Amino acid sequence: MTEILVVCVLLALGYGFGTRAERRHYASIRDREEELAGVMIFSARLPPEPERYSQSRLVCGSVVISVDYFKAFVAGMRSLVGGRVTSYESLVDRARREAILRMKADARDLWPCKIFNVKLETSSISKGGGNTLGTVEVLAYGTAVAD
């Protein structure tokens, strides 16, 4: 009985705090994406006219984001029936967008610039219970070039 109660409390806490954190994070991501929209990023291996640029530097951005108890629970339920795990989709989406924003911010001293050969690397750095996803790290890196 107590165990069920503990799980319920954890679920409520996870839902409450997790949803609030996600909403705030998305709001901040949207703001900063607008602010940094001038920095264009490309996955192309080389700029079309490399000789045009005189400065270049490696830039990185990374973030570690943890799943909340409610999301992990929903994902656990989802794994019974299969299908899209929307609760994890938003988690990795947030992490990737945040990493890209930090990479753009790292290139600040070269503004206005473009970032080429952008690579995204996702790794799960800790496992939750039952081998589910616990915490993900996303690293974004590329080369910022400026005139």
Site string for other proteins, 6-25 (x = CB under 8 A): ----x--xx--xx--xx--x
| Number of Cβ within a 10 Å radius of residue 1 | 5
- Interaction of residue 92 with other proteins, rule CB under 8 A: no
* Residue 125 contacts other proteins per CB under 8 A: yes
C-beta closer to other proteins: residue 82 or 143: 143
Asked whether position 77 contacts other proteins by CB under 8 A, the answer is no
Say if residue 26 is exposed, middle or buried (CB neighbours under 10 Å; 0-12, 13-18, 19+).
middle
Burial grade of 116 (CB within 10 A; 0-12, 13-18, 19 or more)? buried
Please report whether residue 78 would count as binding other proteins according to CB under 8 A. no
From residue 45 to residue 74, the character string flagging contacts with other proteins as x (rule: CB under 8 A) and all else as - is xxx--xxxxxxxxx-x-xxxxxxxxxxx--
Encoding tokens for residue 102? Answer: 């930090």
* Of 36 and 136, CB closest to other proteins: 136
User: How many residues make contact with other proteins (CB under 8 A)?
Assistant: 49
Is 126 a binding residue for other proteins by CB under 8 A? The answer is yes
How many whole angstroms separate alpha carbon 59 and alpha carbon 53? 16
Burial class (CB in 10 A: 0-12, 13-18, 19+), 146: middle
DSSP string computed for 71-93:
HHHHHHHHHHH-S--HHHHHHHH
Q: Which residues bind other proteins (CB under 8 A)?
A: 10, 13-14, 17-18, 21-22, 25, 45-47, 50-58, 60, 62-72, 98, 116-117, 119, 121, 123, 125-126, 128, 134-135, 137, 139, 141-143, 145
